[in-house]
Structure 1
Amino acid sequence: MTALRKTTTALISDAAPFAIRAERASDVAAREALLDACFGDNRHTRSCQRLRDGRAPAEGLALSAVRQGRVVGTVRLWHVSAGGIPALMLGPLAVEASSRQLGVGAALMDHALAAAKARGHRAVILLGDAPYYARFGFSAAKTGELSLPGAFERDRLLGRELCEGALDGAWGMIAPTGAPLPKTKASRARKALLVPRAA
């Protein structure tokens, strides 16, 4: 009986070399290091970051991909108003270089979109490469009249309706609407970013 359980575990492990779970407080340092590695130190100056600063991600929509006990992928979704229409902003999505061939990014996207739909959200917007995100149903079809705070490339502003017609008539500036981070968490997050990293 014990041998059978071990075999079953090994088979599951071989079939799925990573797991996706809700982000934990213990993931923060690894997530920040992963985002720095993927997007560089200037990631805090990007347009979409202005929608996330000082805000908490949408409840249940901050996910980590874990492989052999390490965070190898992350994605978060945030409450925004898309010109007055409630939506979620997805990002950043990041996967550790050595895990990219395992399908971690696609699994995070599928899981995040399914969880958003299950929670009753109607639309998701992101800033990213259209050829990559098209396979998840994203396009620029209904984002042409939307804007982001700061400079951005128009053809990279993409949307996906989780309910048909959710982005009909979307027009104007995308603005954050999510809950503010509690003061202690916001100050801890800033301090974590200021801690010097080893070379």
Structure 2
Amino acid sequence: MSAYQNFLDFFTMYNRERLDGLNETYFAPMTAEERSKAFDHLLEMTRPGGSDESVKGLFLADAERAVPVVRELLEQGVLNDDAALAAAWELYRRQPDPALIEVFLRLMSSTDRTLRSRAAFYVPADESNEALLEALRGMIRTETETLPLVNATNKLLECYGITEDSLPEAQYLRLYRGLRSDDLKTKEATFKDLDRLFGLDA
């Protein structure tokens, strides 16, 4: 079986391998011609709206070719939300652009909890600004689902340069638990502590 046929067969699967998604092992054995065909096939899947899987596949098949094509589709607003999130992440990884942050911010307030969770997880912390910080605070104030809340909490701390290893354990846990508290006043007090101790003006 050719590598290209193996790639096509992937899209007929309904097993664990399909759930794991496309990866480089599908493309590494391909000839240049097969990679080009695979890219074209994925592009046809992506143009009507696409998916997380089809966008990531384009970058696996040919990242250099994917950048301008995916950017154009994203700017045209034709991508489905999960595809748009994947596009923003893949583009930002290669060509950091603050304008891409708007995609993450929009999806952090999606009605789909999986999209909210993934947007909070993938939004680049190195582009921290008040809009991003406020979007994360908003999620922490109102989110009722565990995983989106965990991701928003971790990302907010990351925006302030805080990790489990960067602070004494007791201080880290106090901040983390403050953000995860069920009491809104405790959350608000923790937001103020973060700004006072670790904000840009600290």
TM-score (norm 1): 0.25
Larger relative strand fraction: 1
| Greater relative contact order structure (CA < 8 Å, 6+ sep) | 1
Larger relative helix fraction: 2
